[in-house]
Amino acid sequence: MNLDALTYAGSLNNLREVQDNPRHTFLRGDICDAALVRRIFAEHAIRTVVHFAAESHVDRSITGPAAFIQTNVVGTFTLLEAARESWANRSKPCRFLHVSTDEVYGALGPDDPAFTESTPYAPNSPYSASKASSDHLVRAYGRTYGLPVLTTNCSNNYGPYQYPEKLIPLMILNALIGKPLPVYGDGRQVRDWLYVEDHCDAILTVLDRGRVGETYNIGGGNEQTNLEIVGRICDLLDRLQPKQAGGSYREQITHVQDRPGHDRRYAIDAGKIRAELGWQPAHAFDDGLAQTVRWYLANQDWVNSIMSERYSEWIALNYAKRPTTDGNF
């Protein structure tokens, strides 16, 4: 049972591969709709929840934080309440897996050790604060009500179908249409990148074998600066789809004013999930990035379907008024 509100980043085109699968049922609806969620639990005898639903773009949380509190905090509470009521007298095993982010841990210095599951929370954006709040709710429902909860905190994802407000697809699509490639500040912010299929595999692993009540950090072990990522994308495009006029896509890189409160570095220590559950990522970063670029090049119909007026308005709002810089800091 796939419950999705189909907000600006959602699309039924993402479900084409499973739309005729008898094991998949799609229902458009909001996780904040308590009556709807309770009805789904009752009518479909839900015993397993994998809670992906979230507002997740930091920039949007800065310009409009209310939606993040509503979906990420109230929505998580609504799902937890429905599970608690439905599973009060459960006779079969149940599981509630909450998908979260490494951003709840705050920022690291250049030489700090990577985040572990015991790193204190220190969120620095409305987005990460809303996710931290939801993590605490999940933990509390496990401790107070005995709800069989699990939490995963993952590093930056990349791969097919990612909405192009996020760094990698934004750079691919801007490059192809000749627009500037906006890099915040000096571009030396570091993230740990994980291919989306590896994330899905990790979630299935935790769902299947994780210890109830535990948190598992999921990371790719691929620390890269934003500027390095953009450069790698340009080099791939130079090879796979060279510019007709010649030159490199790197010429489109433009440093712009940094966003407020921009965390400098994230890094995940995935030792726990590796040691306890035997999971590790299967995709090397260079291979995963090349697959991602090729996917966007080969799926222009999908790209065109999401390049709506609302998308254009957001890009203009977030980037058009940011002053450019020389990138030397």
pLDDT score at 314:
80
The catalytically annotated residue of 102, 135, 192, 263 is 102
Q: Confidence class of residue 191 from pLDDT cuts 50, 70 and 90?
A: very high
Q: The domain 2-313 is classified under which CATH number: 3.40.50.720, 3.40.50.300, 3.40.1350.10, 3.90.420.10?
A: 3.40.50.720
CA 275 to chain centroid, in Å, comes to: 24
Identify whether 59 is a catalytic site residue: no
pLDDT digits (tens, 9 = 90+) for 241-270: 999 999 999 999 999 999 999 999 999 999
The values of phi and psi at residue 224, to 5°, are -140, 145
Pair of tokens at residue 26 = 């799609």
pLDDT digits (tens, 9 = 90+) for 27-44: 999 999 999 999 999 999
Percent of the chain whose predicted confidence (pLDDT) is above 90: 89
pLDDT digits (tens, 9 = 90+) for 115-166: 999 999 999 999 999 999 999 999 999 999 999 999 999 999 999 999 999 9
The DSSP code sequence of 142-186 is HHHH---EEEEEE-EEESTT--TTSHHHHHHHHHHTT--EEEETT
Domain boundaries, the chain: 2-313
Q: Confidence class of residue 326 from pLDDT cuts 50, 70 and 90?
A: low
Identify whether 135 is a catalytic site residue: no
Identify whether 111 is a catalytic site residue: no
Per the confidence metrics, is the pTM higher than 0.75? yes
The catalytically annotated residue of 127, 195, 216, 319 is 127
Give burial (CB, 10 Å; 0-12/13-18/19+) of 198: buried
Q: Could you give the CA distance from residue 114 to residue 163 in angstroms, rounded to a whole number?
A: 27
The catalytically annotated residue of 55, 103, 135, 198 is 103
Angle at 232 between CA 99 and CA 251, to 5 degrees: 125
pLDDT score at 327:
59
Give which of 116, 6, 7, 130 is closest to 65, Cα–Cα.
130
Q: Could you give the CA distance from residue 145 to residue 290 in angstroms, rounded to a whole number?
A: 46
